[in-house]
Structure 1
Amino acid sequence: MTVSVAVPTTMAKRVTQNERIKMSARGVKVSYGENEALHGIDLDIVENEVIAFIGPSGCGKSTFLRCLNRMNDTITGCRVEGEVTLDNDDIYDASLDVVLLRARVGIVFQKPNPFPKSIYENVAYGPRLHGLAKRRAELDDIVESSLIRAGLWNEVKDRLDQPGTGLSGGQQQRLCIARTIAVSPEVILMDEPCSALDPIATGKIEQLIDELSENYTIAMVTHNMQQAARVAHKTAFFHLGEVVEVGETDDIFTNPREQRTHDYITGRFG
């Protein structure tokens, strides 16, 4: 079965040798009260790769993403079953420190949400909270390196004391990414990180995702299939609370195995 759909060349062409599973989900079910939103998800996330979760609205992709750092714990009436591991450790183990988990598995949300603090304090907040810097000079280095890695340093280095909320939308999102990587996470979750941004800002975020994947494992939800094709090494297609198909991004978009995947990416529903 061949799909005739125009797909841009992906940035993420790197071939990974000896793939190492960073996170793994087995039989993951999520229920909100009596409503089961996820029906037993099995999925592996490979270290230092970008995996995109695509699918129509309400299919469960954001719900699953939130399982990966236990953000669903904050939702009243939400129940998670199954197993999710990080480096083979069960992240739902009762003895696990959720604050430390969220430092290892950071998240960037759909709408930029800088703290009502200065640019400097936005980035310094996490390292200060987790005791990652003993002296101000060490904290300064973390802030600078995080802003550099987020591609924002040259734009803000002369106004670090100004409010982060005064930046443009795209700059705010890169500030949120800098804030996330300041605590040296191993995995970065992104929930439609470009949906509120203009095309120029989106391009900068996509380039940043490609660069960050050299050092971080990234799982992102996107409603934009062209974006998934550009930045993701692997793509998982969600539909009605299930993972229909997961594989190399080029394969998913040019030669999917499942009819539902074919129908979605060719616009027959969604």
Structure 2
Amino acid sequence: MAVEVQLVPVSLATIALESCFYGCFLVLAITSMCLLVGRRAKWLSPTFLSAIGIFITVTAHWILTVDRSFQAFVFFENGTFPTAFYGDLSQITEVGKTACLITTVAMGDAIIIHRLWIIWDRRLPIVLFPVLNFLGLIVSGVGITYQFTKYRTGQNVFQSDTSRWITSNAVFTLCINIYSTGFISWRMSQVGNVIKPIGRNRIHSVLGTIVESAAIYTTWTIFFFATYLSESNIQFITVDCVPAITGIACMLIHVRIGLGWAHEGSQAGLSISQSLP
């Protein structure tokens, strides 16, 4: 049975929780970019571009969340009907937030697919499955955003046409992350078993960061999916935190690589670590 929580308390909780996650993300993002600049990373490298892109979309999403709180409690009908404001998913700020969310998730999934492609020596058959899922992710993401522009007050977001797009989007991103992380782990474990002990330790350290980051994102996505399928308004909290969680998961790896810990290991460990975007 769905947990009955009103939109206004949910929205207030969203502001607090997303702000906490955004603060964590901001620290990691700044650290990541400082390390990349300090190590003279190429400005057009996948690592640097992905860091900048995710920083922009996650920040934009958080700004829109804060802006919507002012709209609901101050400007919309003089702040007397916040429930009506939050219940209208066709608001331009809500559509904008959705676009930022979809873009952030797409960039995060593109990064892990690129990482998989590099580690597996650019073997197309290995990345075919996640690439097909990525295309589905893009299509479903566009579908979600479009459906929100057509939303009418009183519609049930859990049972409308949007629900099929949301379900598909969640399944696609889960498939991408579970598959890619599994194959990356397998490949790096193989490399770690054939190099010197020092290099092996560095490989396992990088591998641990990748798995932990994937676990953070996957766990939160499953949490969102569960709240959505249960038709609980708590899903508004979980979905609004997805961009920040995605950013944290990506920046953890960027910081790990930027610190250059793998440089102390073997050449094999260095090669793999530096190839990770």
TM-score range, shorter chain: under 0.3
TM-score, normalised via structure 2 length: 0.26
Structure showing the higher helix proportion among its residues: 2
From the two aligned structures, give the one with the greater strand fraction: 1
Give TM-score scaled by structure 1 length.
0.27
Which protein is bigger by CA-based radius of gyration?
A: 2
